């Protein structure tokens, strides 16, 4: 049991399938909706492969030293296995994205990079991107899984070392320890709110969202692979009796999970992917595939780590960089395809020139402390300094090199103590000590962009204000079509409904962008439901939308000249594709005793729509108000509250 695992081409082939699934998911999520589960498969494989290395720490077989000597060897080998390729990828990514990436994303990228270097990329992903599936582009968000593995590599051996110093029968203790860790982790994975009191103390507001990135909620997948390794000797013979038909069926199931156009919840998908991964590993089911296919997947699997590292920065540039845009077309299928191919080729280059070279160095017992110190400086300090420089440069507009228009302030950024536009368990509250009346603002980003105006109007009329918005989430309590609203949004809406029933605000303001594809029935149902609970409901209609979505306030790379946006457009040029849907919902509301409000007259007069006034931009982008633009709505909002 303590011997090193032999090289298994089937496991490398499984790695190949997993990394291809992840790359294709990030390239075209709509085509490969479950491809992200390739990461879950990686965790299981890591547990299976790393277990014998961890066990050797406690057997005096590495250097003839003691536990501590073996532990140092384990950490050194992990460092040389992971750090060099990561450092090169991060360094090249900084250079490319600083020149080619939209400057608006530089801060998020730089801070995510610093978190990755400090081995807390998972915390950075939660802090700077929130939901893993959100549209906020983060070219290093994929490093969350690497940080989780690194945290497990650091902490698990230390826990076992403490146990084995007090127990001689380490095999039994190891199994018991894995069992306890697995049960604890899986319980937290299923019920993440259990740890909310702990997370709250370290600034993690949403345990349900952080659960995706949490090593506590992921280590069960690692220990599942570890238990699979420990039980391999006992159950290998029965598993070998599987017929080729069963092996082929297992492979088909894995392929469907990773590449099939099917939908599963996050937790169900993780459980299925993990269980079938360990079964396929134990039964060596992939050996049933033709030899030529196994060789191809094995080749990809050997290079999977480097491919995984490089694919997200390349796909980010392919999808979001103005420098990679071909003509005026926004369908970036060509760029995405090139990025996928480049990920495999550059991953192969990184494997041959960096991974293989330093992996062997990590296995050497003669590496001096000075060499390790130099390696740590090159792989950790230099990337960290580059990210820091990028973060500072973005703040000072790159010392004059950035000629983009300064982004106007937007209302959802004004409160550093409460994120007004994210999934939360409670609203942002702004109280007036003398007031007993509360106005609640709910909706998507088009509620968030008037949030400060609602707060100021409430303050003016001596009301309390509550703000509860989330980007991309309409207010609806039923879902006619699942693809129109995420499960996360539906959970948020149920929390809002529960809060409304419990707190009985005097007024609820619903503000959201109603599109032609929105479900009128679901939106109407939500308005009617709120009307039964609170005495006054106000629906905000769609605001004017300017026609240059692809250019206005879209920060371009340093190598491109900035776009100079017009300050006004003729009304005939304004976007009206979704106006009919908004008018239809507003008409329903008025016919059923629900108040409506329209802000068109604030921006459009005499067939001209303005978005610049008094030397400031009134819009943050093509369809969201800036804080200055939202300020124009305060008199209308205050007048509405004044009625009650």
In this prediction, residue 167 carries a pLDDT of 55
Percentage of the chain lying above the pLDDT 70 cut: 93
pLDDT at 235 over 60: no
Q: What is the pLDDT of residue 321?
A: 93
**Both 464 and 604 in a single domain?**
yes
Reference 309, options 513, 42, 107, 526; nearest CA is 42
Query: For residue 372, what pLDDT is reported?
Result: 67
Confidence label for 169 from pLDDT (cuts 50, 70 and 90): low
pLDDT at 270: 97
Q: How far apart are CA 73 and CA 364, in angstroms?
A: 9
CA torsion sign, 255 to 259 to 262 to 263? Answer: positive
The answer to whether the CB of 447 falls within 8 A of the CB of 412 is no
Question: Which of residues 361, 395, 429 is at a domain's end?
Answer: 395
User: Does residue 423 share a domain with residue 360?
Assistant: no
Residues 314 and 415 both lie in one domain? no
Residue written as token pair 């156009």: 261
* pLDDT for res 3: 45
Alpha carbons within 13 angstroms on the beta-carbon side of residue 541 total 23
Each residue's pLDDT tens digit, 243-264: 788 989 999 999 999 999 988 8
pLDDT confidence of residue 203:
82
pLDDT value of position 149:
96
What average pLDDT does this structure show over 449-467? 96
555/502 same-domain check? yes
Q: What pLDDT is recorded for position 166? A: 56
**Are 362 and 485 in a shared domain?**
no
Residue that is written with structure tokens 């792989």 in the block: 379
More confident residue, 171 or 571: 571
Which pLDDT belongs to residue 1?
Answer: 40
Q: What is the mean pLDDT of residues 465-477?
A: 94
Cα separation, 55 vs 160, in Å, equals 9
CB-based contacts of 431, cutoff 8 Å, min separation 6: 464
Average pLDDT over residues 364-380: 69
Contacts for 306 with CB less than 8 Å, ≥ 6 apart: 85, 89, 346, 347, 348, 349, 350, 351, 354, 355
492 in the same domain as 376:
no
The torsion angle over the Cα atoms of residues 540, 419, 421 and 547, rounded to 10 degrees, is 80
pLDDT of residue 592: 96
* Tokens 């100021």 found at: 456
- Does an H or E element contain 170, and which? helix 170-190
Among residues 345, 362, 395, which one ends one of the domains? 395
Question: DSSP label at 417?
Answer: T
What is residue 520's predicted lDDT score, i.e. its pLDDT? 95
Beta strands 428-430; 568-570: pairing state: unpaired
3-state helix, strand, coil split of the chain in percent (to 5) is 60, 5, 30
Q: Tens digits of per-residue pLDDT, 72-113?
A: 888 888 998 999 999 999 999 999 999 999 998 999 999 999
Is the pLDDT at 547 greater than 50? The verdict is yes
Residue 402 lies in a domain: no
d(C-alpha 228, C-alpha 43), whole Å = 13
Q: Which domain holds residue 267?
A: 9-395
Instruction: Say how far apart CA 551 and CA 353 lie, in whole Å.
Output: 40
Average pLDDT, rounded, for the chain = 90
- Give the model's pLDDT for residue 233: 62
Q: Is residue 406 part of a domain?
A: no
Residue with tokens 């598993």: 239
The Cβ-side half-sphere exposure at 361, using a 13 Å CA radius, reads 17
What is the end-to-end Cα distance of the chain in Å, rounded?
A: 76
One domain for residues 509 and 570: yes
Residue in this structure with the two tokens 């550093």, named with its chain if needed: 416
110 lies in some domain: yes
Asked whether residue 422 falls in the same domain as residue 373, the answer is no
Note the helical H segments in 194-303.
196-201, 207-210, 219-240, 244-259, 266-283, 291-302
Work out how many domains the chain is built from and give that number.
2
Beta 612-613 vs 428-430: how paired, if at all?
unpaired
Instruction: Please tell me whether residues 538 and 390 are part of one structural domain.
Output: no
List the CATH number of the domain containing 444.
3.40.50.1110
Residue 404 falls within a domain, yes or no?
no
What φ, ψ does residue 436 adopt, rounded to 5°?
-115, 0
Give the lowest-confidence range in 236-240, 276-280, 454-458.
Answer: 236-240
Last residue of a domain, one of 366, 395, 424: 395
- Predicted confidence at residue 618, as pLDDT, reads 98
CB environment 292-325: b (16+ within 10 A), e (fewer): eebeebbbbbbbbbbbbbbbbbbbbbbbbbbebe
**484: nearest Cα among 494, 493, 472:** 472
For residue 438, tell me if it sits in a domain.
yes
| Strands (E) located in 405-449 | 428-430, 438-443
- Cα R_g (the chain), whole angstroms: 27
- 625 forms beta bridges with 619
CA angle 453, 457, 463 (to 5 degrees): 130
Is the torsion defined by CA of 394, 398, 402, 407 positive or negative? Answer: positive
In a domain, 466, yes or no: yes
Asked if residue 289 belongs to a domain, the reply is: yes
Query: 2 in a domain, yes or no?
Result: no
Residues 120 and 214: their CA atoms lie apart, in Å, by 10
User: How far from the centroid of its chain's Cα atoms is residue 165's Cα?
Assistant: 40
* Residues 255 and 284 both lie in one domain: yes
Mean pLDDT, residues 259-280: 94
Same domain, 36 and 91: yes
Quick: pLDDT tens for 482-507: 777 888 899 899 999 999 999 999 99
Higher pLDDT, 479 or 167: 479
How far is Cα 96 from Cα 80, in angstroms, rounded to an integer? Answer: 25
3-state secondary structure at position 421: strand
- Both 473 and 387 in one domain: the answer is no
Q: What is the pLDDT of residue 551?
A: 86
Widest pairwise Cα distance in the chain: 87
Of 33-37, 234-238, 627-631, minimum mean pLDDT range: 234-238
């Amino acid at each position: 049991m303590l011997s090193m695992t032999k090289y298994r081409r089937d496991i490398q082939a499984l790695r190949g399938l997993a990394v291809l699934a992840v790359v294709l998911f990030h390239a075209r999520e709509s085509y490969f909706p479950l491809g992200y589960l390739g990461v879950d498969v990686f965790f299981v494989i890591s547990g299976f492969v790393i277990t014998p290395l961890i066990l050797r720490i406690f057997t005096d077989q590495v250097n003839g030293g003691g536990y501590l000597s073996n532990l140092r060897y384990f950490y050194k080998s992990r460092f040389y296995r992971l750090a060099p390729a990561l450092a090169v990828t991060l360094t090249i990514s900084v250079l490319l994205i600083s020149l080619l990436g939209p400057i608006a994303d530089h801060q998020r990228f730089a801070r995510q990079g610093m978190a990755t270097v400090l081995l807390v990329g998972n915390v950075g992903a939660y802090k700077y991107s929130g939901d893993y599936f959100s549209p906020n582009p983060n070219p290093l968000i994929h490093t969350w899984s690497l940080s989780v593995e690194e945290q497990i590599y650091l902490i698990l051996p230390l826990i076992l070392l403490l146990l084995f110093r007090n127990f001689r029968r380490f095999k039994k203790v190891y199994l018991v320890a894995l069992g306890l860790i697995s049960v604890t982790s899986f319980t937290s994975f299923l019920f993440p709110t259990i740890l909310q009191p702990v997370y709250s103390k370290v600034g993690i507001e949403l345990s349900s969202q952080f659960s995706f990135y949490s090593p506590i909620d992921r280590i069960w997948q690692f220990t599942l692979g570890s238990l699979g390794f420990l039980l391999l000797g006992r159950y290998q013979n029965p598993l070998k009796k599987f017929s080729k038909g069963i092996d082929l069926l297992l492979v088909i199931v894995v392929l469907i999970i990773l590449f099939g156009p099917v939908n599963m919840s996050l937790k169900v998908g993780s459980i299925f992917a993990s269980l079938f991964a360990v079964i396929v590993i134990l039964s060596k089911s992939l050996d049933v595939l033709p030899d030529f296919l196994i060789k191809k997947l094995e080749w990809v699997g050997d290079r999977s780590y480097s491919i995984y590292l490089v694919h997200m920065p390349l796909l980010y540039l392919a999808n979001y960089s103005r420098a990679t845009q071909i003509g005026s077309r926004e369908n970036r299928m060509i760029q995405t395809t090139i990025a996928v191919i480049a990920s495999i080729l550059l991953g192969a280059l990184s494997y041959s020139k960096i991974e293989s070279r330093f992996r062997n160095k990590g296995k050497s017992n003669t590496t001096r402390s000075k060499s390790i110190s130099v390696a740590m400086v090159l792989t950790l300090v230099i990337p960290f300094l580059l990210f820091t420089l990028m973060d500072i440069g973005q703040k000072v507009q790159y010392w004059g090199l950035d000629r983009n228009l300064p982004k106007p302030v937007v209302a959802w950024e004004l409160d550093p103590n409460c994120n007004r536009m994210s999934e939360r368990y409670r609203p942002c509250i702004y109280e007036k000590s003398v007031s007993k009346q509360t106005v609640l603002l709910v909706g998507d980003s088009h509620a968030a962009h008037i949030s400060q105006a609602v707060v100021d109007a409430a303050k003016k009329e001596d009301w309390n204000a509550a703000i509860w918005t989330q980007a991309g989430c309409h207010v609806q309590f039923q879902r006619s079509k699942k693809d129109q609203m995420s499960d996360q949004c539906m959970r948020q809406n149920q929390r809002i409904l529960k809060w409304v029933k419990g707190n009985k605000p005097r007024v609820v303001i619903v503000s959201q962008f109603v599109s032609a594809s929105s479900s009128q029935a679901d939106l109407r149902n939500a308005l009617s439901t709120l009307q039964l609970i609170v005495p006054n409901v106000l629906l905000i209609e769609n605001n004017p939308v300017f026609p240059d979505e692809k250019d206005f306030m879209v920060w371009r790379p340093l190598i491109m000249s900035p776009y100079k946006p017009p300050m006004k457009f003729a009304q005939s040029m304004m976007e009206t594709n979704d106006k009919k849907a908004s008018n239809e919902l507003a008409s329903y509301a008025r016919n059923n005793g629900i108040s409506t409000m329209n802000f068109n007259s604030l921006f459009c007069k005499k067939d001209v729509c303005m978005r610049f006034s008094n030397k400031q931009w009134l819009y943050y982008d093509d369809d969201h108000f800036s804080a200055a633009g939202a300020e124009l709505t305060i008199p209308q909002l205050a007048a509405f509250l004044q009625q009650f």
